[in-house]
Amino acid sequence: MNDDRKNGFMKRRVEADEAETRRQERRLREALIESRSVTAESETDSDRALAPVDEAPFPLAMRDSWPFLPVLHADPDTLDRHLVITARRRDPAHAAFDVLRGRMMQALNDHHWYRVGITSPTRGCGKSFTAINLAISLSRFEGWRTVLLEMDLRHSSLASMLGVQSPANAADFLRGSIAPAAYLRKLATGENGIGDSLAIGLNGRSEAFPAELFQRPESAEALARIQAEMRPNVVLYDLPPALAQDDVLSMRQHLDCMLVVVGGGTTNATELREMVRRLGDDLPILGVVLNNGEPVHPYGYS
């Protein structure tokens, strides 16, 4: 079977799986509505108080879509040019990300977390550099699925770091217009030194009001579908700087913890304290990464 026929077969299979999932979801909701209408009169106030507010939006027996994801081929020279050092591992500094990987995996296992936001106080600290290098380091850990989502919708950079032209738009995925199996791409293995367990969702269009989009129920459902359909062990969110706009605050509801990247010689103590204050006490900080970074830009990020 040639590549075109194979890709066409996989696409039709994914579409059939998605159609069956929607049918199962509709039948589930209809059954819930019917059962509630029958028992509503017999419920006491205490019964209603104990009832769950929302049911899981997807059937528990959803198929695993990971094997059918399209493959994305990154150019090795582009990776080197953008300092994606954990790919070909020619720079000895790549080992620092393997150490970060090990410590992070231990913390996630200890606390049963899997949704990690990656941010910085201001622009230019190297958060996207950290996100892509950490994700590729994780890709080589056998049996551990990693999803990296580009949620810096004002100033996206991951596509250019990978040499990808015209990627899909993250906002369309969050609004439910694109299914996870059509939005995500697995990074190809081979000479780039990338493992076979990394899927990436890029962004190809700037979004004017991402904070409002992150708050919409469609966004919560789209992100939940990634967990249900891809079954990742960890989801990394490449977020905007925390002191720019209110995008990170709007994403807090979708996170278990935060990894903070600070720029060596650029981030000052006042910025770091203000960032911690904005994040609040109820969102754990997984760790702080000190990076050389680039010159810090003003707070404005629109």
Per-domain residue ranges for the chain? Answer: 3-50, 66-291
Specify the pTM. Answer: 0.76
**Residue 45: what pLDDT?**
40
The number of beta carbons lying within 10 Å of the beta carbon of residue 159 is 17
- Asked whether the beta carbons of 302 and 273 are under 8 A apart, the reply is no
Low-confidence ranges of the chain (pLDDT < 70): 1-62, 191, 293-302
**Residue 3: what pLDDT?**
55
* Joined tokens for residue 195: 């493992």
**Residue 122: what pLDDT?**
87
Burial of residue 51 (CB within 10 Å: 0-12, 13-18, 19+) is exposed
Query: Where are any strands of DSSP class E within 16-108?
Result: 71-72
- Asked whether the beta carbons of 106 and 100 are under 8 A apart, the reply is no
Q: Is 37 helix (H, G, I), strand (E, B) or coil?
A: helix
What residues contact 91, with CB distance under 8 A and at least 6 apart?
A: 83, 85
How do residues 206-258 score in pLDDT, each as one tens digit? 999 999 999 999 999 999 999 999 999 999 999 999 998 899 999 999 999 99
**Residue 28: what pLDDT?**
44
Identity of the residue numbered 214: F
257-263 sheet: strands from edge to edge: 71-72, 185-187, 198-201, 146-150, 234-238, 115-119, 257-263, 285-291
**Residue 12: what pLDDT?**
61
Alpha carbon distance 64, 290 (integer Å): 37
Alpha carbon distance 259, 149 (integer Å): 14
Q: Is 58 helix (H, G, I), strand (E, B) or coil?
A: coil
- Asked whether the beta carbons of 135 and 146 are under 8 A apart, the reply is yes
**Residue 39: what pLDDT?**
38
**For the stretch 87-116, what's the b/e string if a residue is b when 16 or more beta carbons lie within 10 angstroms of its beta carbon?**
bebeeeebebbbebbeebeebbeeeebbbb
- CA 26 vs CA 23, 66, 241: distances in Å: 5, 23, 39
Protein fold of 66-291: Rossmann fold (3.40.50)
**Residue 266: what pLDDT?**
83
